């Protein structure tokens, strides 16, 4: 049991859990001067202090504060922990050499064409043991928890052959066991074509369909299937075939769509009822229409846009058009070596003109939807798992993206336990 009292404001309250769309995205549904009761790892009760039941009042008055069961949150906010719905945080090493290459003028695609980029990470990963991959990924998991993330989706995609893709997915499976984070796993064999298939893409697509998907599904190693649908990577036809095959094994698509250009990724994602289409730097009228009529959420990854110095996705227009928007970190060694959602919030506000409330909803309740955990996470709703942030004494929630390098979190609780 844990009872938080005198909370400056309890933020992200939803009587009934629901995705935020349109104008609702700009509301944080706060209760000022609030209490929150957590029991068995779940949100049990909450409300204004003046309505706190007598039994809880007695408890608060008599409790020994050091026991940790009663937390006096005077001057501090409680909000849902971040749900980071798009990351590649299992990887074997950093790529700062390419960072310098980019500064000197090479583009992401040029680096990839020279065998760098994702192929560089794949080479390193093939030489790295599962144990070592696990240890470095757990380190990143601890890092993002320290920045307020309570749930994370993690992709494979640096294996690019059956053995190494499965190695990555087993690392993610072990993380599910050993990390307090709520984790969802995505098979991204279609991240890049291995060099040996550079002139024979079809053979690799067949390998994904006929070897990797059945093996991964039989071991229950992934919930989702993803593809980098982009010129120079996987075509719409490749993506279509891969999603079709994955869905037969119960893997729901997510898709890297429209990052470098109008790739058709959004449309193929919508066609297969993808849970999310991610990136969206190139999004126009056709994509807006396709998304508006779908159950697929648009996911922005402004950290990658920033790092690659590209044009940002038109997130303001997407929200105004009535399409729900989620936001994720895309933590990866090539286009966003950061898992900080505070920083993503700042980018969304400054570069994409989202309000702080829209940015926060995008990486809490809408992020939860984008990784299929909205029934249990993403908001302050009775019965949900208590993944919550107790902030430091900050002047407002807007302060979080405003003071974007100032640590705002005092404690993170996952399932009601401080981590």
Instruction: Tell the smallest beta-carbon distance from residue 155 to ligand NIG (Å).
Output: 8
Which of 12, 80, 117, 269 contacts ligand NIG by CB under 6 A? 117
Which of 156, 332, 338, 361 contacts ligand NIG by CB under 6 A? 332
Instruction: Tell the smallest beta-carbon distance from residue 160 to ligand NIG (Å).
Output: 12
Among 384, 270, 292, 330, residue whose Cα is nearest residue 21:
292
Instruction: Tell the smallest beta-carbon distance from residue 83 to ligand NIG (Å).
Output: 17
Asked if 213 and 187 touch (Cβ cutoff 8 Å), the reply is: yes
Q: Which are the contacts of 66, defined by CB distance < 8 A and separation ≥ 6?
A: none
How far is 352 from 345, CA to CA, in rounded Å?
10
Residue carrying the six token digits 């950061």: 338
Q: Which of the stretches 29-37, 114-122, 170-178, 360-368 binds ligand NIG when contact is defined by CB under 6 A?
A: 114-122
What is the contact mask toward ligand NIG in residues 30 to 69, using x (rule: CB under 6 A)?
A: ----------------------------------------
330 binds ligand NIG (CB under 6 A): yes
Residue 238, CA atoms < 13 Å, CB-side half-sphere: 27
What is the contact mask toward ligand NIG in residues 176 to 215, using x (rule: CB under 6 A)?
A: ----------------------------------------
Strand pairing of 325-327 and 388-391? unpaired
What is the contact mask toward ligand NIG in residues 368 to 387, using x (rule: CB under 6 A)?
A: --------------------
282 binds ligand NIG (CB under 6 A): no
Asked if 117 and 49 touch (Cβ cutoff 8 Å), the reply is: no
| Total chain residues near ligand NIG (CB under 6 A) | 13
Closer CB to ligand NIG, residue 253 or residue 334? 334
Instruction: Tell the smallest beta-carbon distance from residue 331 to ligand NIG (Å).
Output: 10
Nearest-CB residue to ligand NIG? 334
Dump strand ranges (E) for 177-275. Answer: 182-190, 224-229, 252-257
Helices (H), 22-147: 54-62, 96-103, 108-113, 118-126, 130-145
116 binds ligand NIG (CB under 6 A): no
121 binds ligand NIG (CB under 6 A): yes
How far is 32 from 10, CA to CA, in rounded Å?
6
Which of 148, 150, 334, 378 contacts ligand NIG by CB under 6 A? 334
At 142, is the secondary structure helix, strand, or coil?
helix
145 binds ligand NIG (CB under 6 A): no
Closer CB to ligand NIG, residue 35 or residue 234? 234
Q: CA triplet 313, 319, 320: central angle to 5 degrees? A: 115
Which of 333, 356, 372, 401 contacts ligand NIG by CB under 6 A? 333
How far is 356 from 348, CA to CA, in rounded Å?
8
Interacting residues with ligand NIG between 226 and 265 (CB under 6 A) = 228, 256, 259
DSSP 377-391: SSSB-TTSB--EEEE
Asked if 331 and 357 touch (Cβ cutoff 8 Å), the reply is: no
Q: For the chain, what's the residue count?
A: 419
Instruction: Tell the smallest beta-carbon distance from residue 180 to ligand NIG (Å).
Output: 25
At 206, is the secondary structure helix, strand, or coil?
helix
Closer CB to ligand NIG, residue 117 or residue 302? 117
Q: Which of the stretches 15-23, 309-317, 325-333, 381-389 binds ligand NIG when contact is defined by CB under 6 A?
A: 325-333
Instruction: Tell me phi and psi for residue 360, to 5 degrees.
Output: -70, -45
Which of 235, 276, 329, 335 contacts ligand NIG by CB under 6 A? 335
Applying CB under 6 A, the residues found at the interface with ligand NIG are 88, 117-118, 121, 228, 256, 259, 304, 330, 332-335
């Amino acid at each position: 049991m844990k009872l938080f009292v005198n909370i400056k404001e309890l933020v992200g309250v939803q009587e009934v859990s629901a995705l935020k769309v349109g104008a609702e995205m700009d509301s944080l549904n706060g209760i000022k001067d609030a209490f929150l009761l957590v029991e068995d790892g779940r949100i049990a009760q909450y409300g204004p202090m003046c309505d706190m039941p007598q039994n809880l009042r007695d408890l608060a008055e008599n409790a020994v504060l050091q026991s940790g069961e009663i937390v006096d949150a005077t001057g501090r906010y409680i909000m849902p922990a971040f749900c980071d719905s798009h990351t590649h945080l299992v990887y074997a090493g950093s790529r700062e050499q390419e960072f310098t290459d980019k500064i000197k003028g090479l583009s992401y695609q040029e680096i990839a064409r020279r065998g760098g980029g994702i192929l560089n990470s794949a080479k390193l990963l093939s030489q790295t043991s599962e144990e070592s991959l696990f240890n470095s990924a757990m380190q990143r998991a601890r890092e993002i928890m320290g920045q307020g993330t309570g749930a994370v989706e993690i992709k494979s995609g640096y294996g690019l052959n059956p053995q190494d893709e499965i190695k990555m997915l087993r690392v993610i499976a072990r993380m599910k066991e050993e990390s307090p984070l709520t984790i969802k796993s995505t098979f991204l064999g279609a991240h890049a074509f291995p060099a040996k298939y550079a002139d024979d893409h079809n053979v690799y697509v067949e390998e994904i369909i006929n070897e990797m998907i059945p093996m991964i599904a039989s071991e229950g190693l992934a919930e989702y299937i993803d593809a980098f649908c982009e010129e120079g990577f996987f075509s719409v036809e490749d993506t279509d075939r891969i999603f079709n095959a994955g869905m037969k094994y119960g893997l729901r698509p997510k898709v890297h769509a429209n990052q470098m250009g109008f790739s058709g990724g959004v449309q193929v994602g919508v066609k297969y009822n993808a849970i999310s289409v991610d990136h969206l730097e190139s999004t126009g009228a056709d994509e807006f229409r396709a998304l508006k009529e779908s159950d697929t959420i648009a996911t922005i990854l402004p950290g990658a846009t920033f790092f690659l110095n590209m044009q940002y996705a038109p997130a303001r227009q997407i929200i105004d058009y009535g399409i729900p928007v989620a936001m994720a970190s895309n933590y990866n060694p090539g286009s966003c070596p950061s898992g900080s959602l505070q920083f993503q919030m700042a980018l969304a506000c400054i570069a994409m003109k989202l309000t702080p409330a829209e940015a926060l909803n995008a990486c809490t309740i809408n992020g939860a939807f984008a990784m299929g955990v909205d029934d249990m996470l993403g908001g302050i709703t009775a019965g949900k798992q208590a993944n919550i942030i107790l902030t430091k004494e900050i002047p407002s929630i807007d302060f979080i993206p405003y003071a974007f390098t100032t640590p705002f979190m005092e404690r993170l609780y996952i399932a009601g336990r401080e981590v």
